[in-house]
Amino acid sequence: MDTFRVCFVCTGNICRSPMAEAVFRSHVADAGLEDRITAASAGTGGWHVGDPADPRTVRTLESAGYELVHSARQFDPGWFDEHDLIVALDEGHERELRALAPTPQDAAKVRLLRSYDPTASEGDGFGFDVPDPYYGGTQGFEEVLRLVEAAMPGLLSEVAATLDGRPAGAVGGRPGGETG
Q: Which of 36, 59, 98, 132 is catalytic?
A: 132
Cα–Cα distance measured from residue 175 to residue 180, given in angstroms and rounded to the nearest whole number: 11
The string of DSSP letters for 121-177 reads -TTSSSTT-----TTS-HHHHHHHHHHHHHHHHHHHHHHHHHHTTPPTTSS-SSGGG
Does 10 qualify as catalytic in the annotation?
Answer: yes
Q: Which of 7, 15, 16, 56 is catalytic?
A: 16
DSSP 8-class letter at 52: P
Q: Which of 7, 10, 54, 111 is catalytic?
A: 10
Cα–Cα distance measured from residue 120 to residue 125, given in angstroms and rounded to the nearest whole number: 9
Task: Classify strands 110-112 and 85-88 as parallel, antiparallel or unpaired.
Answer: parallel
Cross-strand partners of 86: 7, 110
> Which of 160, 57, 41, 156 is CA-nearest to residue 89?
41
**Which H or E run includes 98?**
helix 91-100
3-class secondary structure, 53: coil
Residues annotated as part of the active site: 10, 16, 132
